[in-house]
Structure 1
Amino acid sequence: MALPNIFTSKISNQVISRINTLTPTTQPVWGKMNVAQMLAHSSVMYEMVYDNKHPKPNFVMRFVLKTFIKNVVVSEKPYKRNSQTAPAFIINDTRVFEDEKQRLIDFVSKTKELGESDFKGKESHSFGILSITEWNNMFYKHLDHHLTQFGV
């Protein structure tokens, strides 16, 4: 079963529409993050693509990530609820809902505008070179997981 293509206008607009239904008081169906933290958490994967904000893992950690974690992240199999989160993705501080919402929408829009061709043969921060399908699965699955977590 192929996941919806986040690089298309149709799917990215659906994801943005789901993000836009969130409010500062939207409560999670499961998990500990509040909605602003979830939005910030969801932006981390895009920061790793577009910003030089997160240090790349060292050789040993990169080997572990590629060997044991990559398939969980880039496959079509949905994430389990309350799965362990990588340290870079843990958001414990207070975030401004509207700022985080707009930042995530901007990342989704930028990814759609660049298109899948921009990701062909592109190296990920943690997993090495990914196929377009793997990039799509990583982006879409993570967003869908957390939007579902908040009931949208």
Structure 2
Amino acid sequence: MKSLFEAEAHKEILNRINKLKKNTKPQWGKMSVNQMVKHCHGPIEVAMGTKKLDANLGFMKKLIFKLFKSSLYNDRPWKEGIPTAPEYVVRDEPEFKVEKENLKTLVNEFHALNNKTDWVAHPLFGKLSSEQWGKAQYKHLDHHLKQFGV
């Protein structure tokens, strides 16, 4: 899996984001392109410690999440339409141009953290290394950019 910390992967993601237009239609799912670009902010903000998720899970759910931890960053693509955490659901229709620029800013800020070692724990999956965070961010963005055909 590529990592958002890799220069080529970072450049690729930004180029793909730039190809999105406000009338780009999804190939699957219910999100509009406006909602998708804003949705993609959430996981980056969680990794950077600026967004909190409700991690009030019981022991069994936490154990189950840890069993699927590698799905965040392994080479197997996610299925179309997989569920998302409620905190990542975008219900309004945000301004496309603003949210697209905000996403590019977040991608750049995250990429600049490539030497960071003291990451916050993921609220559902626990401690992740820099390598795991970089791959997880790339995988999430890649999933949604494919959803919108770029």
TM-score between both structures, scaled by the size of structure 2: 0.87
Instruction: Give the aligned partner of residue 99 of structure 2.
Output: 100
Q: Distance in 1 between matches of 2:19 and 2:144?
A: 13
Matches within 5 A, 1:125-140: 125-140=123-138
Deviations 1:73-97 (A, max 9, x none): 2322110001112211111111110
Q: Distance in 1 between matches of 2:90 and 2:67?
A: 23
Instruction: Give the aligned partner of residue 20 of structure 1.
Output: 18
Aligned length: 149
- Compute the displacement of 1:106 (Å): 0.8
**Once structures 1 and 2 are overlaid, which stretch shifts more, 131-140 or 60-69?**
60-69
Q: Distance in 1 between matches of 2:100 and 2:122?
A: 24
Percent identity (aligned): 32
TM-score between both structures, scaled by the size of structure 1: 0.86
Q: Distance in 2 between matches of 1:122 and 1:50?
A: 7
Structural RMSD (CA): 2.1
Structure 2: 5+ residue runs without aligned partners? Answer: none
Matches within 5 A, 1:76-95: 76-95=75-94
Of 53, 56, 59, the match for 1:58: 56
Deviations 1:53-77 (A, max 9, x none): 4344125277256334423223221
Q: Distance in 2 between matches of 1:65 and 1:111?
A: 28
